[in-house]
Amino acid sequence: MDRGLNLACGQARLHPQVINVDRDPTAAADVRADAHRLPFREGSLRVIASQETVEHLADPFAAVREMARVLQPGGALYLQVPFVLGYHPGPEDYWRFTGAGVRQLLEQAGLHVERIEPALGAGTGLYRVVVEFLADVAARLIPAAYLPVKGAASLICYPLRTLDGLVLGGPQRDRIPGGYFGVGRKPD
């Protein structure tokens, strides 16, 4: 059956033909599983979406190999990862990836790399750093101020995100993007 998988779905449902998997019980999860040991037959899925997930896994390389295992020949993995993003435990946060790191994740799993690009540009990277910096400084002065200042800084600094378009196609686009996505295809 040509089905897809949304790995670490949270509360999102991408499509009725996509199986939602999360290790935590959520209203949207169809299957509860660990990304290192997916409960699907080898070669059983046509597409897998993994968005901002592998940074939370102790062994992202093993998890991507496991994703490749369950892909059908010719199947595709969409892998989105953070680069410039603050620490966000869920329950833990281990990794950040460059474009070259995304390439390694896909290639070591035996996937043919079709595309790697910044998912979010430098404006979003700068936005994330400035917001977190301002909230951290405020919390140093008044511990309870972290969340209110983060919220206010998010609103005030939001226009920085609109600058993504200025550098996404430029020669320095890989300096401080918010994150990357890669598409890998399992050989036929």
**What's phi and psi for 181, nearest 5 deg?**
-130, 150
Q: What is the pLDDT of residue 95?
A: 95
Question: For residue range 127-136, what is the model confidence (pLDDT) as tens digits?
Answer: 999 999 999 9
If you compute the radius of gyration of the chain from its CA atoms, what whole number of angstroms results? Answer: 18
What kind of fold does domain 4-121+177-185 have according to CATH? Rossmann fold (3.40.50)
Q: What is the pLDDT at residue 1?
A: 47
Average pLDDT over residues 85-92: 84
* Domain coordinates in residue numbering, the chain: 4-121+177-185, 122-167
For 97, half-sphere exposure in the C-beta direction (CA atoms, 13 angstrom radius) is 31
105-147 pLDDT, tens digit per residue, is 999 999 999 999 999 888 998 999 999 999 999 999 999 999 9
SS3 for 10?
coil
What is the pLDDT at residue 2? Answer: 64
